[in-house]
Structure 1
Amino acid sequence: MIYQPWPWYVAGPLIAILMAILILMGKKFGMSSNLETFCSIGGAGKFVDYFKMDVKSKRWNLFVVLGSAIGGFIAAHYLTPNQAVDISPKTVESLQELGFESAGTAYLPTELFSMEALSEPKVWIILLAAGFLVGFGTRYASGCTSGHAISGLSNLQKPSLIAVIGFFIGGLVMVHLLYPIIFGS
């Protein structure tokens, strides 16, 4: 069971139990809040009042980041050895037509996320622009996809519902309209 993806009826209730525990403890879950904490630890509060916060109260969430990194490493290197990425053959074909030959075999496209790819200026421009847009969007939406979709919806927050709808619309626009323009030949 540990070598296969967990079905929704196992993973879903586990997430629900975790969210119930966090709500009862008065905690909010989200990965972008950790970026604020990292900036505060790094001294950003000296320059921007927004980053003046009690870092000790947010320490628990930093363990979530550490656990995510360690868990992702273990899962990628020890629990899914030589396993193909399980996505639709039509999606693999579409991505390969756009030049992503690693589609279906790698979790991250090696055409963007490899040391060789970093020698191309276009890749740097794409990654920097994407990073800026993700950072701006996260701040503008007051949270990230995990924070809004898991924590915010669990708390029945209307802004989170609006944000999640926006994430889906943005994802559809990106995949169906912008991907072919950016990566098309």
Structure 2
Amino acid sequence: MNWIFEPWPWYISGPLIATTMAALLFVGKNFGMSSNLRTVCAALGAGRSCDFFDFDWRGQRWNLFVIAGAVIGGFVAMHYLSDNPIPQINPEVIVQLKQKGFESAGSSYLPDELFGNHAFPSVKNIVLLLGGGFLVGFGARYAGGCTSGHAISGLSNLQLPSLIAVAGFFIGGLIMVHVIFPFIF
């Protein structure tokens, strides 16, 4: 029974994801996490003031269960199925983060220097968090979906725009980690 406490290898998790995608395609559904924000906004009445949210959100209720399951599953896995309450970070990354001033690296998954309450008086941190949030939201909308939607659902449907989007996500991530992050910190 110890296998449940370990990360599952690709040959277990990959086919499980593929089976889930096949089932969704079979019933005519598309998977994606960013679409849930649109569904929640529409359910809360945002369609009265913005045409983008003016659609029959009830047809997407099933997708809200996906996001609820992701939150509940993450909580259960972290608190009940993990021997280590702090997710493991590569030791080389911890050393690099500490060299850049993130002293909490290794003892916290999210660096307190950037995400802790004491970081909010910093104008630089507020600008970074708001700017990053805006770019993620704008990018997901501009690309017609988020990384999970394009990489899992779009690629399984053999959609060329999803392949281009996924390549863009990887290139953007590499630029962020190797160019922008060192420049900012």
Paired amino acid for 2:147: T
Structure 2 match to 1:163 = 165
Identical positions, percent: 60
> In structure 1, how many angstroms separate the alpha carbons of the residues matched to 2:145 and 2:121?
32
Residue identity in the other structure for 2:84: N
Instruction: Describe the SS at the equivalent of 1:62.
Output: helix
Q: Which residue of 1 aligns with 2:90?
A: 88
Q: Superposition pairs for residues 105-120 of structure 1, below 5 Å?
A: 105-120=107-122
Tell me which amino acid in the other structure corresponds to 1:125. V
State the one-letter code of the partner of 2:162: S
Cα separation, 2, equivalents of 1:117 and 1:74: 29
Structure 1, gaps ≥5 residues long: none
More displaced, 35-44 or 169-178?
Answer: 35-44
1:103/1:109 contact within 8 Å kept: yes
2:22 matches 1:17: no
TM-score (norm. length: structure 2): 0.92
Q: 1:113 to 1:31 in 2, by over 3 A?
A: same
Unpaired runs of 5+ residues, structure 2, are none
Superposed displacement of residue 157, structure 1: 0.5
Aligned mates of 1:7, 1:105 — CA distance in 2: 25
Aligned-residue CA RMSD in angstroms? 1.5
Say if 1:94 and 1:127 are closer, same or farther in 2 by CA, change over 3 A: same
Higher relative contact order (CA 8 A, sep 6+): 1
1:55-109 Cα deviation digits (max 9, x unpaired): 1110000011111111112222222243553333222211221122232333322
How far, CA to CA, are the matches of 2:155 and 2:106 in structure 1? 31
Give the C-alpha shift of residue 7 in structure 1: 0.7
Q: Which residue of 2 aligns with 1:44?
A: 46
Match of 2:68 in 1: 66
Separation in structure 1 between the aligned mates of residue 120 and residue 79 of structure 2, nearest angstrom: 23
User: Contact 2:94–2:105 at 8 Å: present in 1 too?
Assistant: yes
Tell me which moved more, 20-29 or 46-55. 46-55
* Count of equivalent residues: 183
Mapping of 1:24-39 within 5 angstroms? 24-39=26-41
8 Å contact kept, 2:42–2:57:
yes
Alignment of 1:125-164 (within 5 A): 125-164=127-166
Give 3-state SS (helix, strand or coil) of 2:4's partner. coil
